[in-house]
């Protein structure tokens, strides 16, 4: 493979920047553009050692640098790797990278360093995917889950299941192919027991999937309510800036305004909708229709009510529209006297929060109710779990094969048919870990990475 190079630090001004070079000719490329102050050449340096010197492009001095050498196979990619740490100016960083490219290296593609780590056996595919999750983690629990995957928890459990399936397949093949030999008969009851144990292990891999997805991707959240109850004020309170126009005039918000905000460890993909009410205004009516559609499609609904006045017909209409399992009723304007009849709300909606969007009070209570609805407190982020749709699909396919095999055993089908179903499950697990996966899948996985990682 060619020797690749890229800037592995963010494309922004900083204290230092790192140019990473990996491949068979990494040391010779580095030797052409770096002169150490000591007498030892780059090609003579041992792994895990550093040298201070000058990066240059021909006769042009570029910057003072520290060069670090990682010898194959004891490097991130499994190849010879050199990292040049220079001052973090954008211009000087690009100059050093161009010098490396002019002396034998080629531009690294997105995720190519980690892809080479996978191809060289330094990481399995689930661990490689966890690298990007670590980089993109925005909260403690999300990072904890990504680090668990990076340590190989999902791979180890999948590998354990795979080995059990391989043993079952071996027993089935031996019993079928050598009937004249003294080979123990494969009993359906024992086989069912073994497959059930594998099924239970695989189910544990997808148990926390939805919670993990919520932490990674965020929650589609609609803020709804009749006009002038404080939806836009709450939207601005949560987003930390004035994205929605707030006035005393009913119907100010006519379109859907969107913003992603952090509430604790959770990203809410907020949508501030038009007030739901009867209207003869055609344009405003379109906004109301869109708001009602958001109630049906959002994963979380925050229904806002004005605590300073009694419930109206529009409020009652809204209460009957929402789904109790994923709705939080927010009684807004607790900074003034409240006269709302809460008992009507309690009959329809389980989660009720009192807050003042204007004064930004009560947000912590809202956070607690969000976690309860999303069941994040029930999730165990220390256990192995599927990290993305690719992994979940592989596990689901394996589960489908195992459950079909168990059903076949229960109705007394031939063991040849059971063997085919078990083999399909085994193939799905090999795709999960990357032990048997197409180049197209591998390319798609690493295309989501940033350049330089």
Q: Give this prediction's pTM.
A: 0.72
Radius of gyration of the chain (CA): 29
pLDDT at 180: 56
The parts of the chain modelled with pLDDT lower than 50 are 241-255
- Between CA 336 and CA 346, with CA 342 as vertex, the angle to 5 degrees is 145
Domains of the chain in start order, with CATH, are: 4-108 (3.30.1360.120), 140-208+384-446 (1.20.120.430), 215-378 (3.40.50.300)
pLDDT at 83: 97
pLDDT at 101: 96
Q: What is the DSSP string of 145-177?
A: HHHHHHTTHHHHHHHHHHHHHHHHHHHHHHHHH
User: How many Å apart are CA 345 and CA 391, to the nearest integer?
Assistant: 41
- What residues form DSSP beta bridges with 301? 222, 327
pLDDT at 31: 96
Which tens digits make up the pLDDT trace of 406-416? 999 888 888 88
Which tens digits make up the pLDDT trace of 328-356? 999 998 888 888 888 888 888 999 999 98
Element (H, E) at 432: helix 415-433
Q: Which two tokens stand for residue 9?
A: 């630090």
User: How many Å apart are CA 83 and CA 65, to the nearest integer?
Assistant: 10
Pair 359, 169: CB distance under 8 Å: no
- Between CA 160 and CA 170, with CA 164 as vertex, the angle to 5 degrees is 140
- What residues form DSSP beta bridges with 77? none
Q: Which two tokens stand for residue 27?
A: 């040391």
Q: Which two tokens stand for residue 239?
A: 């987003």
Which tens digits make up the pLDDT trace of 98-139? 999 999 999 999 999 999 999 999 988 888 888 888 877 777
Which tens digits make up the pLDDT trace of 46-56? 999 999 999 99
pLDDT at 246: 35
User: How many Å apart are CA 353 and CA 384, to the nearest integer?
Assistant: 34
Q: Which two tokens stand for residue 384?
A: 């192995």
pLDDT at 289: 66
Average pLDDT, the chain: 83
Q: Which of 115, 150, 121 is nearest to 453 (CA)?
A: 115
User: How many Å apart are CA 150 and CA 128, to the nearest integer?
Assistant: 7
User: How many Å apart are CA 292 and CA 278, to the nearest integer?
Assistant: 12
pLDDT at 380: 67
If DSSP codes are grouped into helix, strand and coil, which group holds residue 84?
strand
For 87, what's the count of Cα atoms within 13 Å in the CB-facing half-sphere? 9
Residue that is written with structure tokens 């779990």 in the block: 385
pLDDT at 276: 63
Residue that is written with structure tokens 């209570």 in the block: 365
pLDDT at 248: 41
| Helix, strand, coil share of the chain (percent; to 5) | 50, 20, 35
Residue that is written with structure tokens 């126009």 in the block: 245
pLDDT at 397: 94
The one-character DSSP state at 45 is P
User: How many Å apart are CA 332 and CA 10, to the nearest integer?
Assistant: 42
User: How many Å apart are CA 242 and CA 239, to the nearest integer?
Assistant: 8
pLDDT at 251: 42
Where on the phi/psi map is residue 199: left (φ > 0), alpha (ψ -120 to 50), or beta?
alpha
């Amino acid at each position: 493979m060619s020797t690749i190079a890229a800037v592995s630090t963010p494309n922004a001004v900083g204290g230092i920047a790192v140019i990473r070079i990996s491949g068979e000719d990494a040391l010779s490329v580095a030797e052409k553009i770096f002169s150490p102050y000591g007498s030892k050449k780059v090609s003579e340096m041992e792994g895990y050692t550093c040298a201070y010197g000058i990066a240059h492009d021909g006769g042009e001095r570029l910057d003072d640098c520290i060069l670090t050498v990682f010898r194959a196979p004891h490097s991130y990619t499994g190849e010879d790797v050199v990292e040049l740490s220079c001052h973090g100016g954008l211009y000087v960083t690009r100059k050093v990278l161009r010098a490396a490219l002019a002396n034998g290296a080629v531009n690294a593609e997105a995720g190519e360093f980690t892809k080479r780590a996978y191809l060289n056996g330094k990481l399995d595919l689930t661990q490689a995917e966890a690298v990007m999750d670590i980089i993109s983690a925005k909260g403690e629990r999300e990072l904890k889950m990504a680090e668990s995957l990076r340590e190989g928890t999902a791979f180890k459990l999948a590998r354990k299941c795979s080995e059990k399936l391989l043993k079952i397949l071996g027993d089935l093949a031996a019993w079928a192919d050598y009937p004249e030999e003294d080979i123990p008969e494969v009993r359906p009851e024992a086989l069912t027991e073994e497959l059930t144990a594998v099924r239970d292990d695989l189910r544990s891999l997808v148990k926390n999937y939805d919670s993990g997805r919520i932490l990674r991707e965020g929650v589609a959240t609609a803020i709804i309510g009749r006009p002038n109850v404080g939806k836009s004020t709450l939207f601005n309170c949560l987003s930390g800036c004035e994205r929605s126009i707030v006035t005393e005039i009913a119907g100010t918000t006519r379109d859907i305004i969107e913003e992603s905000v952090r509430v604790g460890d959770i990203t809410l993909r907020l949508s501030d909708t038009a007030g739901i009410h009867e209207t003869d205004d055609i344009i405003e009516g379109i906004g109301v229709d869109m708001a009602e559609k958001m109630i049906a499609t959002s994963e979380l609904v925050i229904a806002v009510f004005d605590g300073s006045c009694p419930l109206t017909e529009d409020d009652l209409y809204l209460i009957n529209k929402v789904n109790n399992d994923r709705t939080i009723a927010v009684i807004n304007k607790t900074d003034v006297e409240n006269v709302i009849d809460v008992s009507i709300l309690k009959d329809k909606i389980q989660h009720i929060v009192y807050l003042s969007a204007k004064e930004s009070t009560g947000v912590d209570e809202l956070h607690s109710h969000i976690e309860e609805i999303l069941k994040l407190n029930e999730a165990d982020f220390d256990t192995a779990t599927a990290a993305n749709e690719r992994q979940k699909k592989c596990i689901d396919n394996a589960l489908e094969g195992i459950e079909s095999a168990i059903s076949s055993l229960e109705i007394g089908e031939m063991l040849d048919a059971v063997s085919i179903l078990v083999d399909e499950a085994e193939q799905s697990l090999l795709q999960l870990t990357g032990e048997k996966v197409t180049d197209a899948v591998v390319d798609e996985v690493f295309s989501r990475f940033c350049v330089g990682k």
